[in-house]
Structure 1
């Protein structure tokens, strides 16, 4: 299981990026014209809070796939047939799952 930390102990590769961010907050606001986007959010992700995925999907006006589990990153990792099927449908057909779709690791 991926604990969400790299070999140097960082939660992700950007944590110790040597340059300060230069974008204001919010980064994405008033986005128009996007197709329905798929955001995958894992309930026990050690690097990205579950609520963050829900907020991103709301900001983009997209769909959330909630995944019950504890790891960071899941799409096409070979860990979940449930997630892989939904991601494949999205990438090939641009079809998002129903609003209540949920997978478990």
Structure 2
């Protein structure tokens, strides 16, 4: 299913670029394999550039975080509350 982002009425104003953010703690990037708005590979590359943990969701929705998928929500809650990243390679 498509969410509101799929119908955003504003054209894209930026070009893809390398993200540089030195000194950050481990960040968590969630990417969906069949996201209708953001290619999965974009999430893979962002996690790599940020040296963060990638959480992969095998699904078709754009925003999966805190949408009732326990395999995603529980590790993200642990990260936000206790600052414990889920570790690289979590696939739901």
**TM-score, with length taken from structure 2:** 0.84
Higher helix share: 2
CA-based RMSD of the aligned residues comes to 2.1
Aligned residues: 92
**Rg (Cα) greater in structure:** 1
Q: CA deviation at 1:11?
A: 1.6
Provide structure 1 residue ranges, at least 5 long, that are not aligned to the other structure. Answer: none
For residue 82 of structure 1, give the secondary structure of its aligned residue in structure 2. helix
Residue 4 of structure 1: CA displacement? 2.6
Where does structure 1 differ by over 2 angstroms across 4 or more consecutive aligned residues? 3-6
1:26 pairs, out of 13, 17, 20, with 17
Q: Is the 8 A contact 2:34 2:60 kept in 1?
A: yes
Change beyond 3 A, Cα 1:43–1:25 = closer
